[in-house]
A and B are shown apart, each in its own frame.
Chain A
Amino acid sequence: MDKLLIANTVSKSFGAFKALDNVSIEVPRGSIFGLLGPNGAGKTTFIRIINQITMPDTGTVILDGEPLKPAHIRNIGYLPEERGLYKSMKVGEQALYLSQLKGLSRQEAKTRLKYWFERLEIGDWWNKKIQELSKGMAQKIQFVVTVLHEPKLLIFDEPFSGFDPINANLIKDEILRLRDEGATVIFSTHRMESVEEMCDHIALIHQSRKILDGKLIDIKREYRANTYDIGLITENPVEVTAGLKARFELLPTQFKTINEELQLRIKLPEGVAANNLVSHLTTLGTLSHFVEVIPSANDIFIQTVSNSKNFN
């Protein structure tokens, strides 16, 4: 697949502290790319390097086939985690100023702003000062300013913080729509449910190093552990459980069904097919539930991070 952004062995130190250590990341065009990692892992530094706010010590970044250069600023829209607006400036004026800094002409910026303001139903805020708006309202304006110059690459750092669920959903839909219209999105967040929902690709940075990346679905395949949640309707659950415990590794589980049944999570040894388990279970009772346990992004995150901690 075509890559919009390629970061090649990027390193960056601040004094003695190594913020990024040989990080290589490839972001496919038209994807939503989740950049994950615990606090202080180096995500923000990486994003700042893409935005040319900080220069890498070593390594290169290639955007759309060219090494990163100042003119690329127009092709990037960045919503930082630490974000704000001038408090004493009027909304419209401020949005115009920020879009002009991104290279839009005043007229062009005005037309597009009107469109977006109407779209997000904030048209009547034009002459209000930022200090009169709530945090969520200000966030909406920041979102508009970020996407207004129609950049090829959009970078959102915790885009949903400060939004109520309705507006968060609105913004989520807008991001998905922008992706469908051809933009590539880098998305940094701690909210794993939005990663699950939106990201096609992810990269996990931990302690300045990239420890995992790829298509989310591939990663999930890699992380599945041949584990199944089963529901079994049986006369004597204690006996059945003891029997199963002797043959398989059992884990605690809980899921919702409408039956009164024995609920178990069973981890099969490598190489054993699910079919074998099913045929064995049917001899013990009525099989009411059989689902492969797919690792969630959250599980993968926690597992990888704590594994890599053990290495150090």
Chain B
Amino acid sequence: MNHLPLIIKREYLNKVRNKAFIIMTFLSPLIMVGIITLVAYLSQLNNEKVRVISVLDESGLFAEQFESDDKLKYEMLSNTSLQEAKTYVEEAENYGLLYIPKVDSISSLSNQITFYSEDSPSLVVMDDIEDAIEDKANMMKLREVGMDPERIKELRIRVNTNLETFSGETTSKLGSGLKLIFGGIAGYLLFMFIIIYGNMIMRSVIEEKTSRIIEVIISSVKPIKLLLGKILGTSLAGITQFVAWVVLLGIFSMVITAIFGIDPAAVQQQEALAQAQAAGGSEELIREIILEIKSLPILNLVIMFILFFVGGYLLYASLYAAIGAAVDSETDTQQFMLPILMPLILAVYVGFFTVIDNPHGTVSQVFSFIPFTSPVVMLMRIPFGVPIWQQIVSVLILFATFIGTVWFAAKIYRVGILMYGKKASYKELIKWLKY
């Protein structure tokens, strides 16, 4: 009689039918779409307002320099004193007043220009203004010494380094960014999955202890089977929820787009487009992106993602189950949570700082072999090209450790589930291993 499918089925159904689980499955994507929509809506609202900046240019040098666009309008003032201009701008509720005094030489402009406003102006606007003045001032300065600014512009050389590995793969900075995104998503996904569903396993073990059903169950089933069934059943429920989230996110954002005409994805798209224009046309960029994605080791990535995801998740899940077995209630779990969370947080930290900085540096390499950090760190390194032997060794270490932790967890579990009212300490746990 094989009990495992029976246990998995119960664990799965029990999780999936749970009201809180169902509510969270629907609510999380709704909240996410809601927040993104709100942000998109607000930034649109912000952008729609036209800011008017009045310019009092006593030097008379910059009359043509400020170009209005749909968001920022420049209004030139003349024949007023600074005091009058200030009063006017304040009454008109304009964004601010840019005051350029009369100067003897262009060089002395550098620290004589003042911007008056109600509140501190946005940095972006100030940058725009400073750029415009600098451009003009530079040009005038160049003319002064007898050089042709147009000619200099023509002669300027732009450098865009081509990146190529010794094995002949060409890459680019854009590619590196993409790799980072792929690795980051994979690592972060695993991190979230472990925390959410690891906790769920722990709670379900504690529930069996507090409801005192555990002894009834393990008089018919071996504890290790119950442990495995619990981990697998909860994982399946987790995957179900994840898939539901992805699908619901898609549906909700489509609905929102249809109703409000605001596309949550548009915000990111706009930014990407702005960058694309800087890089010289969006079509070219998209072509480049597709090319870069194609050049990523997709198959390798997918296989390793699955292996590291499963291995890493099971490793932590068994530890969570052991904690659940060792304590009487959820409030007692604190002292054991830290040793689990530390390596996880460290892994994400190393992943997002060290790997980005240097994907093949010593720190990144070391952490991609340590089994408690390797799933996250290695997943983030792989897009940058990791030798196959390293990947295989890391996976082997991970699975060997997994077997070790399952043995450890099963020991703790077997003893712990029958211990009531005994506060477990680390010393106690080590004693249990010998029972």
A positions within 8 Å CB-CB of B: 14-15, 48, 51-53, 70, 73, 76, 78-80, 82-89, 97-98, 100-103, 142, 145
- A84's partner among B1, B7, B211 (CB-CB below 8 A) is B211
Cβ A73 vs Cβ B418 within 8 A: no
In the complex, per-residue mask of B194-238: 1 if CB is within 8 Å of any chain A CB, else 0 = 000000000000011001110111111110000000000000000
Q: Which residues of B contact A76 (CB under 8 A)?
A: 219
Please measure, in the bound complex, the distance between the C-alpha atom of A80 and the C-alpha atom of B212, giving whole angstroms: 9
Q: Does B136 contact A (CB under 8 A)?
A: no
- Write the residues of chain B forming the contact surface with A, with a CB cutoff of 8 angstroms: 1, 3, 6-7, 10, 14, 18, 207-208, 211-213, 215-222, 418, 420, 431, 434-435
Complex contact A85–B213 (CB within 8 A): yes
Instruction: Chain B residues near A84: list those with CB within 8 A.
Output: 211-213, 216
Q: Would B211 and A101 count as touching, CB distance under 8 A?
A: no
Question: B415 — nearest CB in chain A belongs to which residue?
Answer: A14
Q: Are B418 and A53 within 8 A (Cβ)? A: yes
Closest to A78 in B: B219
Cβ-closest chain A residue relative to B211: A84
Q: Which residues of A contact B215 (CB under 8 A)?
A: 53, 78, 80, 82-83
Smallest Cβ-Cβ distance to B217: which chain A residue: A101
User: A85 touching B435 by the CB < 8 A rule?
Assistant: no
A8–B26 Cα distance when bound, in Å, is: 59
A82 touches B6 (CB 8 A): no
Also in contact, A80 and B6, with CB within 8 A (given A15-B434, A88-B14, A101-B221): no
State which of A52, A87, A145 has its C-beta within 8 Å of the C-beta of B216.
Answer: A145
Question: CA separation between A256 and B71, bound complex, in Å?
Answer: 107
Contact A82 B18 (CB under 8 A): no
Q: Contact between B213 and A15 (Cβ–Cβ < 8 Å)?
A: no
B435 lies within 8 A of A83 (CB): no
Most buried by B among A80, A84, A88, A101: A101
Chain B residues, Cβ within 8 Å of A101 = 3, 6-7, 217, 220-221
- Distance (Å) between the CB of B265 and the closest chain A CB? 39
Q: Which residues of B contact A82 (CB under 8 A)?
A: 212, 215, 420
The 9 closest A-B pairs by CB, nearest first: A84-B212, A80-B215, A84-B211, A101-B220, A78-B219, A51-B219, A84-B213, A82-B212, A103-B1
CB-defined contacts of B434 to chain A, threshold 8 Å: 15
A/B interface sample: 14 pairs, CB < 8 A: A15-B431, A52-B219, A53-B218, A73-B219, A78-B219, A80-B215, A84-B212, A86-B213, A88-B18, A97-B6, A97-B10, A101-B3, A103-B220, A142-B216
Beyond A15-B434, A82-B420, A103-B1, 4 additional pairs, beta carbon < 8 A:
A76-B219, A79-B216, A86-B208, A100-B6
> B211: which A residues are within 8 A, CB to CB?
84-87
Give every chain B residue within 8 A of A80 (Cβ-Cβ): 215-216, 219
CB-CB under 8 A for A86 and B14, given A78-B219, A101-B217: yes
In contact, B219 and A98 (Cβ under 8 angstroms): no
**B contact residues around A70 at 8 Å (CB):** 222
Q: Write the chain A residue with the least CB distance to B428.
A: A15
A-chain residues with CB within 8 Å of residue B218 when the two chains form the complex: 53
Whether the Cβ atoms of A73 and B220 lie closer than 8 Å is: yes
